[in-house]
Amino acid sequence: MARYFRISHIATGLTAVVVGYSSSVVIVIEAARQAGANDAQLISWLLILGLGMGISCLYFSLKFRMPVVTAWSTPGAVFLISTAGPYSLSDVTGALIGAGILSLIAARSQALMRGIERIPPALAAAMLAGILLPYCLNVFSSATSHPLLTVLFVGIYLLGSQLFARYLMLILLVVAGIAAWVLSPAEAPAVSLDLPTLEWVMPTWSLSAFISIGVPLFLITMLSQNLPGIGILHSHHYKPDNRFVLTGIALLQLITAPFGGFMYNLAAITAAICMAENVDDDPAQRYKAGVAAGLGYLLSGAMAVAIVSIFTMMPAVVTQLLAGIALLATLQSSLLRALEESHYRQAALLTLLCSASGLTMLGISAPVWGLLLGVVTLGFTSGWKRQVVGR
């Protein structure tokens, strides 16, 4: 194992897990509560999600030798919070299975996959930069309330990127852990180390729940998560078999839904962390960060009971600083790729700005609108240039 992994692979993979959990585990917990889950079922949700993400990260990353990272659907969890209340947990479970069936049908569509694969890499990179920009800006907005902590993290980043780039994320993880401990309240409850167990929920079939929960959940996850996830892979010149990956994720959804696997998708932010240049000088070796992330997710699933208490107590400022600094290198390379070719520059700029805007319309998030705007802009400018040349 020591010969197979570098410290940079392990540190980056663990950073992806920490960022993924700390940024949205509270949302997932609230979604489970709104769906009617009791304490045991809530633990089951976190256990099966950790196992599902861990197994899929390991399998896809090893199969394709690329950092193919999966995640739970954070927008899907937000959606569940607002819609699951009127339905029983068994009806919600049936709707989750319905969303998985829709995901499987979409994954097997050759036309859809061909359309996704034709997206220009410059626009995919611009969309990624737009997604990352707010996270990186949080590094400096944190200085308002925690100036010394911000200076510490930025200072370690500047010094580490020059002197110990390969160990930078490991050092930042240690510093983040110490900072979280210092900032945690003195009366914080003890962390339980009990082993979690799976709880089966027998699904019931409600047309109302399927239409109100299953269909929108599928659309939100496909458009707001899987499409950016594919774009991020392509922007880093990784092109796995997207149909195979999405089919596997859909099957995983169908199998795990009765235990609380509410929705899986290709990751965006955490995947970008595993594709950064500081992971490994050789892009062909960065898949090992995806493997490390998979192992981290498996461990997180096994520690579901402790995760509930740990991540609900972690100060938001520590999460913001860790995520933002971890993504700086990826933001830099994405900006360079997005604006490198003059032919794509205008469309890429609009894609970046729209993706970073936070726009949500018709239930579709800003990155998808940004990518659509970029494609339309590119088509318009290309057509205009052809007309001018034709004259």
Transcribe 38-97 into DSSP letters.
-HHHHHHHHHHHHHHHHHHHHHHHHHHTS---EEE-HHHHHHHHHHSTTS-HHHHHHHHH
**CA distances for 348 relative to 123, 191, 337, 376, angstroms:** 5, 46, 10, 11
264: pLDDT confidence band, cut at 50, 70 and 90?
A: very high
pLDDT over 70 at 46, yes or no: yes
CB of 252 closer than 8 Å to CB of 264: yes
Q: How buried is residue 125: exposed, middle or buried, by Cβ count under 10 Å (0-12/13-18/19+)?
A: buried
Q: How far is Cα 171 from Cα 160, in angstroms, rounded to an integer?
A: 9
How are beta strands 360-361 and 70-72 bridged, if at all? Answer: unpaired
What is the end-to-end Cα distance of the chain in Å, rounded? Answer: 64
Q: How far is Cα 119 from Cα 339, in angstroms, rounded to an integer?
A: 15
How large is the average pLDDT for residues 291-316? 83
23: pLDDT confidence band, cut at 50, 70 and 90?
A: low
Closest CA relative to residue 273, chosen from 299, 255, 250, 296: 296
How large is the average pLDDT for residues 304-327? 75
pLDDT over 90 at 370, yes or no: no
CB of 301 closer than 8 Å to CB of 54: yes
Averaging pLDDT over each range in 29-38, 93-102, 157-166, 209-218, which range is the top one?
A: 93-102
How large is the average pLDDT for residues 31-40? 88
CB atoms within 10 A of CB 111: 7
Closest CA relative to residue 96, chosen from 269, 217, 277: 217
181: pLDDT confidence band, cut at 50, 70 and 90?
A: confident
Burial string for 184-205 (b: 16+ CB within 10 Å, else e) reads eeeeeeeeeeeebebbebebee
Which pLDDT does position 227 carry in this prediction? 82
177: pLDDT confidence band, cut at 50, 70 and 90?
A: confident
Q: Which two tokens stand for residue 213?
A: 């929960």
Torsion of CA 58, 22, 351, 119, to 10 degrees: 10
Q: How far is Cα 274 from Cα 266, in angstroms, rounded to an integer?
A: 13
Q: Which two tokens stand for residue 184?
A: 């945690």
How large is the average pLDDT for residues 8-33? 81
Percent above pLDDT 70 for the chain: 89
Which pLDDT does position 383 carry in this prediction? 63
* Full-model pTM: 0.72
54: pLDDT confidence band, cut at 50, 70 and 90?
A: very high
